[in-house]
Amino acid sequence: MAAPPEEESLGALVAQASHHISTLVRSEIELAKAELKFDAKRVGTAAGLFGAAAFMLHLCLILASFAIAYGLVQMFDMMPWLAFTIVTVFYVLCALLLVFVGYRRLKGLTKMKRTARSLKTLKDGTPDGGPAVAPPTAGQVGHHHAPMTAGGTEPGSPRPRT
């Protein structure tokens, strides 16, 4: 039987707290693993379904291309090779447009500048790589007013009338 809390030593209390914290952390990690595994299965299934749908749409695009080419042959009485060339050139132009738009989107990436700056700040302990700033003292924490000048006024405030 455990001793009443008043009689337990500080070392025993710290050991119990450490044991409880490690048990809590382990159980939270196990819960996160279980949730992640469940979500990963659902994401995998959804990705497979999207892949199958994309493949079917690709087949439909090929069939539609043939239909368009043969439609051009029938409507404008042109040679089949010319109709297929027209359809091919159309798709090449669409692909080039998509590549151009994608390239422009990639050029706009910020290369994670803010994250790199934030990590540098955490590493160095200095904001924006500038000189180290001492942490506020107890008297400065929560102090929102500007420091007083020698005359007893805040800088930038109008001078008191005498």
76 part of a folded domain: yes
Question: What are the distances in angstroms from CA 122 to CA 83, 115, 125?
Answer: 63, 10, 5
Residue numbers of the domain that contains 90: 12-127
98 part of a folded domain: yes
What residue has token string 């102090």?
Answer: 143
Distance CA 40, CA 32 (A): 12
35 part of a folded domain: yes
Q: What is the pLDDT of residues 89-135, one digit of tens each?
A: 999 999 999 999 999 999 888 778 888 888 788 788 776 555 555 66
Q: What is the pLDDT of residue 148?
A: 57
Q: Tell me the whole-structure pTM to 2 decimals.
A: 0.54
Percent of the chain with pLDDT over 70: 73
Q: What is the pLDDT of residues 33-84, one digit of tens each?
A: 999 999 999 999 999 999 999 999 999 999 999 999 999 999 999 999 999 9
Task: Count how many domains the chain has.
Answer: 1
58 part of a folded domain: yes
Tokens of 53: 């749908």
DSSP of 73-88: HHHH---HHHHHHHHH
